[in-house]
């Protein structure tokens, strides 16, 4: 499959087919480089919740804002808890969570909007960033899906909200699945495997779980989310999936598992320029 996440600067990837197709859209993912953080957070750590210097993180966010030409005054950030809450945000939420974690949208791992001049952002260090767009109505969304968000089907829940509360048409919805840990590097135990079985009602599609020895399994989180989105009604040909594994690229990405839990965070972002 052709790669859709194309590195455009030292610090950013963009979703190339989306930015090429939809005028005024900004959509992408950051690298770990081109920032001011030190030590295990070196250098473009964008997470305020990992015990890095708050001053450094805020400066890193300003660096990113300059790279993508989208002021931090127009960003919206949330308190990510590996849950499945999905909320609609508006211009009145701009600036929340940008300079301090506590002011972010509370207990929220998925959000969306149809307003211009507002950048949705979310932080990652192995979990799956899922991007949503319905270009006819300009609805955009983000979901943060670690294994917990995945087994609670956060992507499908966002789709359900769009259909029931916003009356969007399934055939127009497009999804991009961004850099995250791959099954090459992600082992889980029976507890997680059983949760995956539950969300798929004991009918797990191929290429999601691979049995290893000692009751361990390789879990393909990107494929799991893709299959759940297809079950939610999204057309398979409207879903693009990156090939990048965050754990396999230590010069490009932070990885919570590879780095032993002491590491920075990348950021997903999507917004319409006015």
Query: Where are the domains positioned within the chain?
Result: 5-181+221-272
The three-state secondary structure class of 229 is helix
pLDDT in tens for each of the 274 residues of the chain?
799 999 999 999 999 999 999 999 999 999 999 999 999 999 999 999 999 999 999 999 999 999 999 999 999 999 999 999 999 999 999 999 999 999 999 999 999 999 999 999 999 999 999 999 999 999 999 999 999 999 999 999 999 999 999 999 999 999 999 999 999 999 999 999 999 999 999 999 999 999 998 899 999 999 999 999 999 999 999 999 999 999 999 999 999 999 999 999 999 999 999 8
* 5-181+221-272: CATH, from 3.30.565.10, 3.20.20.150, 3.60.140.10, 1.10.150.530: 3.60.140.10
Please state, in angstroms and rounded to a whole number, the distance separating the CA atoms of residues 30 and 28: 7
Model pLDDT, residue 214: 87
Q: What is the largest CA-CA distance in the chain?
A: 54
Please state, in angstroms and rounded to a whole number, the distance separating the CA atoms of residues 229 and 234: 6
Model pLDDT, residue 1: 74
Model pLDDT, residue 213: 87
- Asked if 9 and 66 count as a contact pair (C-beta separation under 8 A), the reply is no
189 class by beta-carbon count within 10 Å (0-12 exposed, 13-18 middle, 19+ buried): exposed
Residue 114 has which token pair? Answer: 């149809």
Please state, in angstroms and rounded to a whole number, the distance separating the CA atoms of residues 62 and 69: 10
């Amino acid at each position: 499959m052709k790669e859709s996440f194309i590195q455009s600067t030292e610090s950013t990837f963009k979703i190339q087919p989306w930015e090429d197709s939809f005028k005024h859209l900004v959509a992408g993912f950051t690298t770990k480089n081109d920032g001011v953080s030190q030590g295990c957070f070196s250098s473009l750590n964008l997470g305020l919740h990992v015990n890095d210097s708050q001053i450094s993180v805020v400066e890193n966010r300003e660096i990113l804002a300059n790279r993508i030409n989208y002021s931090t005054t127009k960003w919206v950030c949330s308190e990510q808890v590996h849950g499945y809450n999905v909320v609609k945000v508006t211009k009145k939420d701009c600036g929340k969570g940008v300079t301090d974690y506590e002011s972010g949208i509370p207990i929220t791992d998925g959000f969306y909007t149809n307003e211009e001049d507002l950048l949705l952002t979310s932080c990652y260090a192995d979990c799956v960033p899922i991007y949503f767009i319905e270009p006819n109505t300009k609805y955009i969304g983000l979901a943060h899906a670690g294994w917990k968000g995945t087994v609670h089907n956060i992507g499908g829940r966002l789709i359900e909200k769009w259909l029931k509360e916003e009356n969007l048409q399934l055939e127009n919805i497009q999804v991009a699945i961004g850099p995250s840990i791959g099954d090459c590097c992600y082992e889980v135990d029976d507890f997680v495997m059983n949760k995956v079985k539950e969300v798929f009602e004991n009918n797990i599609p191929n290429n999601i779980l691979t049995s290893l020895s000692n009751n361990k399994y390789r879990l393909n989180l990107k494929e799991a989310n893709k299959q759940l989105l297809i079950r939610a009604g999204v057309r398979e040909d409207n879903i693009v999936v990156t090939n990048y594994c965050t754990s396999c690229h230590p010069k490009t990405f932070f990885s919570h598992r590879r780095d032993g839990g002491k590491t920075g965070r990348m950021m997903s972002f999507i917004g319409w320029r006015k």
